[in-house]
Structure 1
């Protein structure tokens, strides 16, 4: 699932712009995880549906300026990537050793990477700087991020994990403001508040109703 997510994601962005790709990816992730939860018999409270809707609406509002009609190939590849990441997330909820599992997952992708490298070597353009950046970004920082994500999943339900991931583009946008002098727009502020509000509604709302139900049964 990790390899399928990464390779489909990489090739999808050859024909998609950033906003459109992000919308397809995160929509696919959310749908995959929520459907998986429903199939396994877990029901969502109305407040959870509301929180998920508000958060996703905020995400759509954030990426609207970068939306364009996607190519069919790009759409299919990014959808596959989102579905793969959804299943990778669901599998990680049972991790007892996030560091070991993440390391093992990366190691198991190597045979697929090798095969892909051999198939595409004629079209490759390698540079020392590019290889170093790829290793640091893909093998080090992403690996650490995936490990932390597996740790976080222990305290999240499937639906919560799907919606919480909508914070990623917000964090990226804020990073752009802090480190690359991008403009802090009203759109970023409003969309961030909607996403955070949706996540808060999802998590605290469920906690409130569950606690109320317990109190009523006493």
Structure 2
């Protein structure tokens, strides 16, 4: 009994750490573009390379004979997510970005489930519709609406992460695949830097935030998540991620003094209720 309780506490603790890491990515990106002069391209490069190096070291320490795996398709999705994520946060608040990202991730995975002939129930369709209505409400023109292009970038980043997640479900060793995908994404980030070379800007604080985002909240965060994932059911894994936009909003308000608007609160409640309905409803037999 004591051993079982200790295992449950370990799973809970690791899950909380992983969710804080996911929310921390939003906070660090927004803090970098709000308080430093680093540009989105440079931030993406440092983040991807530092995550690749940390994951490679962790993989070699835990499994000296295991080589990084992954694929170029996975690396492409990962790079698209990381780059669009950073470009979006140049203008988006922490909470708005996290809400758009999370909603797009879950809706993309649901849409791909339909494409793969998964039998989606009526309640799941209703939940998806509610979530989409919440995102639509957030994006309606007005004084508190997010910048349209940045919002579009974040929705695309969420779609890329959803595709990457679905690909990872069939990839076997998640840690080895994640390390390999980050390594493959590194030259893609270098190509992006060449394209935007005249616009690159660096400063010490910005690079430090990018390193933390890459090595800690991305590399170590994903590593912890994939360690705890086998102990969670698919429903649990999807449901606990509902906490990420809430955590990101709290961190943004407390640490970055970001405003909490009525539109954001309303949209967040609608989106999270809709996604909760999707996750808690069973597929049709």
Give the TM-score, by structure 1 length: 0.67
Is the 8 Å Cα contact of residues 166 and 195 (structure 1) preserved in structure 2? Answer: no
CA RMSD of aligned residues (A): 4.0
TM-superposed deviation, 1:131:
1.6
Pick from 184, 192, 207 the counterpart of residue 116 of structure 1: 192
- What residue in structure 2 maps to residue 136 of structure 1? 212
Where do 5+ consecutive residues of structure 1 fail to align?
214-218
- What residue in structure 2 maps to residue 36 of structure 1? 112
Pick from 78, 81, 85 the counterpart of residue 5 of structure 1: 81
TM-superposed deviation, 1:127:
2.1
Report the CA distance shift for 1:152/1:189 in structure 2 as closer, same or farther (over 3 A): farther
**Distance in 2 (alpha carbons) for counterparts of 1:137 and 1:53:** 33
Answering whether residue 152 of structure 2 is matched by residue 80 of structure 1, we say no
1:149-171 deviations in Å (ceiling 9; x for gaps): 555487327xx84x865542222
- How many residue pairs match? The answer is 203
1:30-57 deviations in Å (ceiling 9; x for gaps): 4432221111100211122233444555
Report the CA distance shift for 1:123/1:92 in structure 2 as closer, same or farther (over 3 A): same
Is the 8 Å Cα contact of residues 17 and 66 (structure 1) preserved in structure 2? Answer: no
Where do 5+ consecutive residues of structure 2 fail to align?
1-76
Report the CA distance shift for 1:197/1:13 in structure 2 as closer, same or farther (over 3 A): closer
TM-superposed deviation, 1:106:
1.4
TM-superposed deviation, 1:134:
0.7
**Distance in 1 (alpha carbons) for counterparts of 2:113 and 2:215:** 30
Answering whether residue 124 of structure 2 is matched by residue 51 of structure 1, we say no
- What residue in structure 1 maps to residue 165 of structure 2? 89
Report the CA distance shift for 1:13/1:183 in structure 2 as closer, same or farther (over 3 A): closer
Answering whether residue 195 of structure 2 is matched by residue 107 of structure 1, we say no
Pick from 108, 125, 131 the counterpart of residue 201 of structure 2: 125
**Distance in 1 (alpha carbons) for counterparts of 2:178 and 2:122:** 34
Is the 8 Å Cα contact of residues 106 and 162 (structure 2) preserved in structure 1? Answer: yes
1:55-99 deviations in Å (ceiling 9; x for gaps): 55566667877414614xx46544432321121111122343332
1:115-135 deviations in Å (ceiling 9; x for gaps): 233443433222222222211
Is the 8 Å Cα contact of residues 176 and 182 (structure 1) preserved in structure 2? Answer: yes
Pick from 146, 150, 157 the counterpart of residue 222 of structure 2: 146
